[in-house]
Amino acid sequence: MTIDFCLPVRNEESILESNLVKIHDFLITQNYSFNWQIVVILNNCDDNSEKIVGNLVSDYPDKIKYLSVNPPGKSGALKHYFCLSRADILVFMDIDLAVSLEDLGALISPILNDESDLVIGSRLLKNSKVERSFFRSSSSLIYNFLSRQFLKHQFHDLQCGFKAFKSTVFLKVQPYLKDDQWFLDTELVILANFFKFRIKEIPVNWAENRYAKRTSKINPYKQSLIFIRNLISLRRRLNNLKKIKRHSDNV
């Protein structure tokens, strides 16, 4: 059993070294029975991120690796690596460590115990602990409301960047993933749900800027319009998949 802990990175030189060491040291203390590695996916970086992670690979050659990819956007970078990975389980989270590392156990345990195929962190469950600006909290609530209206799902938080899934889930949904920017979280959950994979949602301890003050790379106003457009597109694709499935069932 092998798990890849994947971190998409674009120009994060201010927090990259300290947070990678935090992740490495935390995973070492867990004494996991499975094999694991941290994979840093550098996406069009033009700062010192590659040099920093290269030095860490030299320090921890068995546990940290990286690759530089050209596809634009977080989603494109992650999908590029997921297609290359040979791990049994894939985990992705953000390098700012907004979700506490203490939640990793709850994220991967249901898959290790074969209780779930995909586990998603949620900032909007009753037991979640969230430190976040009013604007960003409101944006998440509005997005989740709209996504429920468009896609008819029952999940609380599609876009939290803290997810774990069997590689077989990705292989099944990969042909239907279209976005290369920030929409992978939603596409992954909705498509996995369509294909009847077992999905578990867990509460997380989420703190904005947990370890460092930094500026979000997302323009909330522009991104809101893009997300709505993506929801409409995904609904169309789901409807087409449903038609294809009904046809195949009737043949």
**Per-residue confidence (pLDDT) for residue 217, from 0 to 100:** 57
pLDDT of 72 > 90? The answer is no
Residue 60 in this model has a pLDDT that exceeds 70: yes
In angstroms, the CA 230 to CA 237 distance is 10
Task: Report whether pLDDT(58) > 80.
Answer: yes
- Residue of 86, 17, 75 lying closest to 49 (CA atoms): 17
Distance CA 65, CA 56 (A): 9
Across the chain, mean pLDDT equals 92
What does 181-201 look like in DSSP terms, one character per residue? Answer: SS-HHHHHHHHHHHTT--EEE
What is the percent of the chain where pLDDT is above 90?
81
Residue with structure tokens 């959950």?
189
Amino acid at 81: Y
Q: What is the pLDDT of residue 224?
A: 76
Spatial neighbors of 161 by CB under 8 A, at least 6 apart, are 92, 93, 94, 98, 99, 121, 185
Tabulate helix, strand, coil % of the chain (nearest 5). 45, 20, 35
Q: What is the pTM of this model?
A: 0.92
pLDDT over 80 at 214, yes or no: no
User: Worst-scoring range by mean pLDDT, 25-29, 83-87, 191-195, 210-214?
Assistant: 210-214
Which are the contacts of 48, defined by CB distance < 8 A and separation ≥ 6?
Answer: 13
Domains in the chain: boundaries: 2-250
- Among candidates 113, 7, 12, which has minimal Cα distance to 66? 7
**Residue 207 pLDDT grade (very low, low, confident, very high; cuts 50, 70, 90):** very high
Whether the pLDDT of residue 213 is over 80: the answer is no
CATH architecture assignment, domain 2-250? Alpha-Beta Complex (3.90)
Apex 229 CA angle, 226 and 235, nearest 5: 140
Check pLDDT > 70 for residue 211: no
- Express each pLDDT in 120-161 by its tens digit: 999 999 999 998 787 778 888 899 899 999 999 999 999 999
Give the sign of the dihedral formed by CA 198, CA 172, CA 98, CA 27.
Answer: positive
- Return the closest-CA partner of residue 196 out of 229, 245, 148: 245
> What's the pLDDT band for 109 if we cut at 50, 70, 90?
very high
What are residue 205's DSSP bridge partners? 129
